[in-house]
Structure 1
């Protein structure tokens, strides 16, 4: 979760159209407006992302919009920017506008439960993407990156970059987002096996590049012997890189990221970022639209389980040439 270019999703990228099979999750009565009709038939799907200034979230919205329009829906993309009040207002607007479905990247694992409940009570199916809420049975599906698997991949590459020893610090994401804890715990599980790697400090930088820069500056002042930086996402990693460059220490410090965003990929190519863990955001955003479409038509998403995790991929100097477009590696 870099957050500079909102237009990172190329219009010509082919998105996966994934129809589900099976049927246990997302069961219920179909929306009357969508029952039995083929295609979107001009119905509205509301997509609510976090902040499209971040290329990860921009791709999330763009991928969902492209897939929805391909299926004949009108897709409105909005952003709550991490604010639950704005999120609630956007849900109200979607209800008023009689949206056939809502795709939501929740602002808060606990604080977004009420917004999902409100839409569900209004008869509008909600599909969650990228982040989860701490309640099952409300959303028709929750589609996220496999953050534990991705964190393990990143931590293993970090160990390799560090040569199995040295001092490092960690930059963590927003505590309100379960992804932050999952990634941090995933890092710790791997790194605890390497006693010669010493964690000097860990600071919350809320997925933000400027905060990553500022927290890195303060940690450098307290620990001038830092040899590695483990970041929960690419923007924080890029902020740390900027601070290290200003301090004249970039050449001696290894930095790892998480997202697979275009500017992070450029940093991997340049050698300033050791690696990034790519999240398949375009894939699961498109699949979420297909689940919404299936629910509108049949009252079922077709998903085998409510919660679904999509495996991440490591981007390093060895495979960075295979990066073909926003958050996509060639197969």
Structure 2
């Protein structure tokens, strides 16, 4: 029986008993059923959907240079995407260079100066650097003929900064809903949650909103007991100690949600030191291999994965359409996929960045680009 069929079957069974329950219990059971149904969407191996019409990507990419700037090079998820973009770029004639930094705004400013001085054609702000933070630099780059683009940053509900050449948003609000529904289902509708966030990163806002609105809709007995807000540059120094204090003060917490999975390297030690490792469930987002390994070890419960290679292909596709004056996709067309103990070994042992998602996107993009 497939995992999707199992979810659907369980939802049907739950529906049979609703009429015999009091009104408040009916609401809780109905919410639990909805959460199960909505989770089932993310349990099937993702399929490729073309983000636009076919085009000759080599013609668009010839001689083009792109500086890709993550919010911090210490984030293995972002570094993995950029490494894959470099590999794809080599095949199509696009030079991709990473601006390595430690998450300091002054370093981002230096990156803009470097791109302008060295004649780059594109600055790609990937997942975390708000154009508002570096607006004078975005203006200077634009005036110099450098196209500034964002990827894996805005939620589709956001209005991109007007100076951007284009943007490839990702469904952060959708991610929040998945996390909320997972917590609902895996605590039988009674989750007591510690939420770890970085509110300085704009996508955090729609993601947390997705968690909160979906809990309100589907889990009336769930509660966010504590929110821990830690800046990206301080993850290594503050997450572990903060979470330890929260868990000690609130022993009822049974779910921890670090919204970006690279936070997990500081969450697991906190759970171990408080004696809650394996008892407190942990759900997160990104699909970084070391976190998938944590699932195999029983330290993490669930990770919403995205193929970094797929993200790289989709990002280059969107940016090259911009360079060639073609219509840019409305969002980064990369599907989400739930990894848990039932399927995490498909990601490899140890886990790999791009394993477990299938390979339909590779032939899909290559055909779309006229490479095969």
Q: Same fold (TM over 0.5)?
A: yes
Give the match for residue 270 of structure 1: 297
> TM-score, with normalisation over the residues of structure 2?
0.72
Q: Point out the structure with the larger helix share.
A: 2
What is the Cα deviation at residue 226 of structure 1? Answer: 2.1
What residue in structure 1 maps to residue 120 of structure 2?
Answer: 99
Match of 2:85, SS state, is helix
Between 1:245-254 and 1:38-47, the stretch displaced more is: 38-47
1:68–1:74: 8 Å Cα contact kept in structure 2?
A: yes
- Structure 1 residue 84: deviation in Å? 2.4
Pairing 1:261–2:285 present: no
- Aligned partner of residue 178 in structure 1, secondary structure: coil
Equivalent position to 1:211, from 238, 242, 249: 238
Range that drifts further, 185-194 or 256-265: 185-194
Distance in 2 (alpha carbons) for counterparts of 1:183 and 1:209: 22
Alignment of 1:1-331 (within 5 A): 20-21=52-53, 38=59, 40-105=61-126, 106-108=128-130, 110-132=132-154, 135-173=160-198, 175-192=199-216, 193-207=218-232, 208-296=235-323, 298=324, 300-305=325-330, 307-308=331-332, 310-323=334-347, 325-331=352-358
1:207-239 CA-to-partner distances (Å, cap 9, x unmatched) read: 525432121111123223322212211132342
TM-score between both structures, scaled by the size of structure 1: 0.80
Gaps of 5+ in 2: 1-47, 359-372
The alpha-carbon distance between structure 1 residues 227 and 294, as it changes in their structure 2 partners (threshold 3 A), is closer
Which 5+ residue runs of structure 1 have no aligned equivalent?
1-15, 24-35
State the match for 1:29 in structure 2: none
Root-mean-square deviation (CA), in Å?
2.8
SS of corresponding position for 1:226: coil
1:8 is matched with which residue? none
On the 8 A contact 2:302/2:338 being kept in 1, the answer is yes
Q: In 2, Cα distance between the equivalents of 1:22 and 1:137?
A: 27
The separation in 2 between residues aligned to 1:109 and 1:202, in whole angstroms, is 26
Greater relative CO, 1 or 2 (CA 8 Å, sep 6+): 1
